[in-house]
Structure formats: C-alpha cells, structure tokens
C-alpha cells in the first residue's frame, strides 16, 4: 500500500503520530506541513487528492487531517476518482470502506482524540470494500469532478 498524507497546522501533531503509525501498512509519502506554523489546508489536501486520483489504484490511498476534517474533505472530493470520507467514529470508517470504498480518510484533530484517530486509521487500512451493489453506485459518480 502507498499512503499519501497531509494536514494543516490544526492537525500537525496528530499527522506526525499517524505518519509513524501507518508505516506498518506500507510506504508513506508525507506532503507536510513539516512544522506547526499556520498554513492553508487546501494546499496540502490538493497534493494528496491529486496523487491518489492520478494513481487510479486501490493500493494507493490517502489520509488528510485538519482542525475539523471538514475543509480537507471538501477539497479532496473535488477530484475525479476521489471518495474522501470525513469520519468521527469507527462505525463510520467501517461504512466508508465497506459501502463507499473510500480512498481518502479525513479526520479532525480538534474533534477526535489522537488515540481515536489512530484506531480509525487502523480500521481504514484493514477493512475491505464490500463490492456488489456498492460498486454500481460508485460507478455513477466516480468520473465526476476535476480531472487531476
């Protein structure tokens, strides 16, 4: 698995923890930021979303974090082939993978505790897509959005 990650200042510390933890699932490409200085979440969300979108490969996924998780999810979902899911609970992560084949997990470091963020990341990368009727639904919209 290749995992692109990015965040903003609101989630820098959580992103560092996530980047360390996710090494067990594969190669990590950390698009930053690399300090907790104030920055703009669209810059980092675009980089991650573009890379995942261009890959068109289910072995390439992303994790995006900001204060709420809302801003990064808005940016990521503008790109074709991106199914970014903002999750607050493990139940949502299971559904995002099983039903929506989410390829980017979005998290809010000012909303969720780091320990819960790690648990949600763990589940995201260890839960498969249920396919079947869910595949047909994804096919309806997967080509919508900006071509990366």
Residues making contact with ligand RB5 (CB under 6 A): 8, 10, 41, 66-68, 70-71
Is 66 tagged catalytic?
Answer: yes
Nearest approach in angstroms of CB 96 to ligand RB5 is 18
Is 99 tagged catalytic?
Answer: yes
Q: How many CB atoms lie within 10 A of CB 129?
A: 17
Strand order in the sheet with 84-86: 27-30, 2-6, 60-66, 104-108, 84-86
Nearer to ligand RB5 among residue 1 and residue 74 (C-beta):
74
Residue (of 105, 108, 109) closest to 95 by Cα position: 105
Query: Which candidate in 9, 39, 99, 134 is catalytic?
Result: 99
Q: Which residue's Cβ has the minimum distance to ligand RB5?
A: 71
Nearer to ligand RB5 among residue 70 and residue 135 (C-beta):
70
Residues contacting 23, CB < 8 A, separation 6+? none
Nearest approach in angstroms of CB 40 to ligand RB5 is 9
Nearest approach in angstroms of CB 106 to ligand RB5 is 10
Nearest approach in angstroms of CB 38 to ligand RB5 is 8
Query: Which candidate in 66, 87, 106, 121 is catalytic?
Result: 66
Helix, strand, coil content of the chain in percent (nearest 5): 45, 20, 35
What DSSP string runs through 69-122?
SHHHHHHHTTBTT--EEE-SSHHHHHHHHHTT--SEEEEETTTS-HHHHHHHHH
Residues catalogued as catalytic: 66, 99
């Amino acid at each position: 698995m290749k995992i692109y990650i990015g965040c903003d200042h609101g989630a820098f510390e959580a992103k560092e923890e996530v980047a360390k933890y996710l090494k067990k699932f594969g190669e990590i490409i950390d698009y930053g930021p690399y300090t907790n200085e104030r920055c703009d979440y669209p810059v980092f969300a675009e980089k991650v979303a573009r890379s995942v979108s261009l890959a068109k490969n289910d072995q390439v996924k992303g994790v995006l974090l900001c204060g709420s998780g809302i801003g990064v999810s808005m940016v990521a979902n503008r790109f074709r082939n991106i199914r970014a899911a903002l999750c607050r609970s493990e139940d949502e992560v299971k559904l995002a993978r099983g039903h929506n084949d989410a390829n980017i997990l979005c998290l809010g470091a000012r909303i969720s505790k780091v320990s819960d963020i790690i648990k949600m990341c763990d589940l995201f990368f260890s839960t498969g897509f249920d396919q079947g009727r869910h595949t047909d639904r994804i096919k309806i919209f997967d080509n919508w959005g900006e071509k990366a």
